[in-house]
Amino acid sequence: MMGISQHDASFDALYKCCTSIVNMATISMARIVPIIVSKLIILSTILSPLAIIHASKENQGFVRTLDRNLHGFKKEKLTHFRVYWHDIYSAPNPTAMPIVRPPSNTSATLFGSISMIDDPLTEKQELSSKLIGRAQGFYGSAGQEETALLMAMNFVFLEGKYNGSTISILGRNSVFSKVREMPVIGGSGLFRFARGYAQANTCSFNAKTGDAVVEYNVYVLHY
Ligand SMILES: *[C@@H]1O[C@H](CO)[C@@H](O)[C@H](O)[C@H]1NC(C)=O
Ligand SMILES: *[C@@H]1O[C@H](CO)[C@@H](O)[C@H](O)[C@H]1NC(C)=O
């Protein structure tokens, strides 16, 4: 009801306005022109402070709005890549190192322990296959009941046009689940503005040494 009556009222006002414009048209041009000019002056007086505020918002010296098309961010695309992540604790060339020992020796999940990694990412499951990049970062045991790692790592690519570009992965990795999903939270180089997810599934794990090979399927939206 409220909406309808408001609508009627505004229609009424519009009608009155139109009628007065028609009436005005019957008045001689000599009278109308000064009226229009004075109305324009009033209007511009009202609007000019707004225009100044608007302009200063866009030009504050240290900040400006850019045209995304001119900066190469025209069309977002979805890229999938698959790499094999090699976490090696065993000699002679470990790529993962415990940097914080588990604070408690009774925790089955080694809660609180942290490892730093610089793991090779290869094209195939074999470590000897082509090196695509490296996974650099750390992970820590963040679950007291279930083994769940907090992963914080950057994949840096070393191949072709991706050479030097990175993506950042931050997420929960419940290592004994078949497939674990972790968010891709950003990137650099060709992966600027990246967002997406990574799915990890373990190909092999040596409980004695701690060595693991994990397949990572990464889906990234970027420009
Ligand atoms: C476990 O930790 C407690 C307290 O820190 C210590 O007294 C005990 O010797 C440790 N046990 C082993 C097997 O390391
Ligand atoms: C990747 O970039 C580095 C440093 O810019 C360069 O030394 C290396 O040869 C490049 N690798 C490939 C495969 O293009």
> Nearest ligand to the C-alpha of residue 160?
2
Same domain as 110, residue 29? no
Same domain as 102, residue 35? no
For residue 154, the CA-to-ligand 2 centroid distance in Å is 18
- Token couple for 1: 């009801």
- Which residues share a beta bridge with 210? none
Using the predicted structure, report yes or no on whether residue 2 has a pLDDT greater than 50: no
Is 15 part of any domain? yes
**Residue after which a domain boundary falls, among 58, 91, 106:** 58
Instruction: Say how far apart CA 207 and CA 132 lie, in whole Å.
Output: 26
For residue 95, the CA-to-ligand 2 centroid distance in Å is 21
Burial group, residue 215, by CB count within 10 angstroms (0-12, 13-18, 19+):
middle
Q: Which atom of ligand 2 is nearest to the CA of 163?
A: 1
Please give the pLDDT value at position 14. Answer: 46
Check residues 71 and 81 and name the one with the higher pLDDT: 81
- pLDDT tens-place string over residues 128-148: 999 999 999 999 999 999 999
Instruction: Say how far apart CA 89 and CA 46 lie, in whole Å.
Output: 72
Please give the pLDDT value at position 123. Answer: 98
Same domain as 217, residue 113? yes
Same domain as 84, residue 45? no
> Nearest ligand to the C-alpha of residue 164?
2
Q: Give me the number of domains the chain comprises.
A: 2
Q: Over the range 85-111, which residues count as b (16 or more CB within 10 Å of their CB) and which as e?
A: bbbbbeeeebbbeeeeebeeeeeebbb
pTM of the model: 0.74
Vertex 126, ends 124 and 132: CA angle to 5°? Answer: 50
Same domain as 102, residue 31? no
> Nearest ligand to the C-alpha of residue 103?
1
User: What residues contact residue 119 under an 8 Å CB cut-off, 6+ apart?
Assistant: 85, 86, 87, 88, 95, 96, 134, 135, 136
Please give the pLDDT value at position 150. Answer: 98
For residue 165, the CA-to-ligand 2 centroid distance in Å is 11
Same domain as 192, residue 133? yes
What is the best residue among 123, 163, 165, 166 to mutate for testing ligand 2's pocket, by most ligand atoms within 8 Å of CB?
A: 163
Q: What percent of the chain has pLDDT over 90?
A: 70
Identify which of 124, 126, 99 has the alpha carbon closest to the alpha carbon of residue 113: 99
- Token couple for 201: 């599934």
Is 37 part of any domain? yes
Average pLDDT over residues 46-71: 69
* Ligand 2 interacting residues, C-beta cut-off 6 A: 158-159, 163-164
For residue 58, the CA-to-ligand 1 centroid distance in Å is 63
For residue 12, the CA-to-ligand 1 centroid distance in Å is 87
CA distances to 46, 49, 67 from 56, in Å: 17, 11, 18
Please give the pLDDT value at position 73. Answer: 92
Q: Over the range 165-183, which residues count as b (16 or more CB within 10 Å of their CB) and which as e?
A: bbbbbebebebeeeebebe
CA distances to 65, 107, 141 from 104, in Å: 52, 6, 12
Instruction: Say how far apart CA 186 and CA 198 lie, in whole Å.
Output: 12
Residue 6, amino acid: Q
Is 120 part of any domain? yes
What is the best residue among 158, 165, 188 to mutate for testing ligand 2's pocket, by most ligand atoms within 8 Å of CB?
A: 158
For residue 108, the CA-to-ligand 1 centroid distance in Å is 14
* Residue range of the domain that includes 21: 2-58
Same domain as 203, residue 111? yes
